Amino acid sequence: MFDNLSEKLDKALHVLKGHGQITEINVAETLKEVRRALLDADVNFKIAKEFTNTVKEKALGQDVLTALQPGQLMVKLVKDELTALMGGDVEGINLSGDPSVILMSGLQGSGKTTFSGKLASYLKTKKTKKPLLVACDVYRPAAVDQLLVVGEQIGVEVFSDRGNTDPVAISKAGIAYAKANGHNVVIIDTAGRLAVDEEMMNEIANIHKAIQPQETLFVVDAMTGQDAVNTAKAFNDILNFDGVILTKLDGDTRGGAAISIKSVVNKPIKFIGTGEKMDAIDVFYPARMAERILG
């Protein structure tokens, strides 16, 4: 479905080689292809433009014009820049608390509940932790049931309080329960709405203030493309979150949202979701994502 960018760049620069020296104009032509690839991958237009301007400066500075294999050098430069833009090193989760409290935020349907389960399972197996899941969606009884099903599947206890309509009280009670029962990680799943609204923002801000989590994660559906950026900005303005979880990367999106979000909120993407099953979780690797985005 997608054309291969490396091939395109090589082709563009190859033709030029026939004419002797590669010029600044040719580099600009090549960067147009890069920009097109980024836009195809759903990267925000302004960000794609800024990115190609940066690459252009570096390309001219790094003697791409006189290199023996300018096409390859250009591709490497683009990939390295994209990787750096998305975060460089792999970022972990802060587990220094006792218990460590992780607050999940995001819109309804973004994959919060699913990811809460995946993370609990991941921490349990990979890091030998004893997590507790806390159900704080007081609006949808089905959401509590969903978390209970997830907990059952992965063998992780779920704390819920169905009669209670105060998510702050439930999260505090959940943390107290964790302390009393030897859970060293508490994952708090919160309610989301279909779009950003004041009530939801106030609610999550209140929970955040009351429990002061070690880690606040923002979950976003990679398929939502450019909308993901606005949502990320709205949540970050309120929560100053620690990291992003990009879900549904098993879909046919190239994942340009990863670049756009990182550029706008400057927070690391920590994990990705790659399916509905509980083991479909992966640490975010910027270099792999750069490959995917460029095709």
Q: Is 247 annotated as a binding residue?
A: yes
User: What phi and psi values does residue 163 have, to the nearest 5 degrees?
Assistant: -75, -15
Interaction of residue 106 with ligand GDP, rule CB under 6 A: yes
β-pair type (281-283, 185-190): unpaired
87 near 286, Cβ under 8 Å?
A: yes
Interaction of residue 110 with ligand GDP, rule CB under 6 A: yes
Q: Is 193 annotated as a binding residue?
A: yes
Among 30, 171, 247, 263, binds ligand GDP (CB under 6 A): 247
Count interface residues toward ligand GDP (CB under 6 A): 17
Interaction of residue 173 with ligand GDP, rule CB under 6 A: no
Q: How far is the CB of 191 from ligand GDP (least distance, A)?
A: 8
Q: Is 36 annotated as a binding residue?
A: no
Q: How far is the CB of 141 from ligand GDP (least distance, A)?
A: 14
Among 70, 99, 111, 243, binds ligand GDP (CB under 6 A): 111
Interaction of residue 108 with ligand GDP, rule CB under 6 A: yes
Q: How far is the CB of 174 from ligand GDP (least distance, A)?
A: 17
Amino acid at 262: K
Among 56, 112, 183, 267, binds ligand GDP (CB under 6 A): 112
Interaction of residue 208 with ligand GDP, rule CB under 6 A: no
Among 52, 113, 216, 236, binds ligand GDP (CB under 6 A): 113
Stretch that binds ligand GDP, among 21-29, 101-109, 161-169, 235-243 (CB under 6 A): 101-109
Q: How far is the CB of 13 from ligand GDP (least distance, A)?
A: 37
Nearer to ligand GDP, 51 or 115 (CB): 115
- Residues forming beta bridges with residue 157, ordered by sequence position: 132
111 near 219, Cβ under 8 Å?
A: yes
Interaction of residue 274 with ligand GDP, rule CB under 6 A: yes
Q: Is 137 annotated as a binding residue?
A: no
Stretch that binds ligand GDP, among 12-20, 37-45, 173-181, 270-278 (CB under 6 A): 270-278
Binding residue numbers for GTP:
106-113, 189-193, 247-250
Which chain residues interact with ligand GDP by CB under 6 A?
A: 106, 108-114, 192, 247-248, 250, 273-276, 280
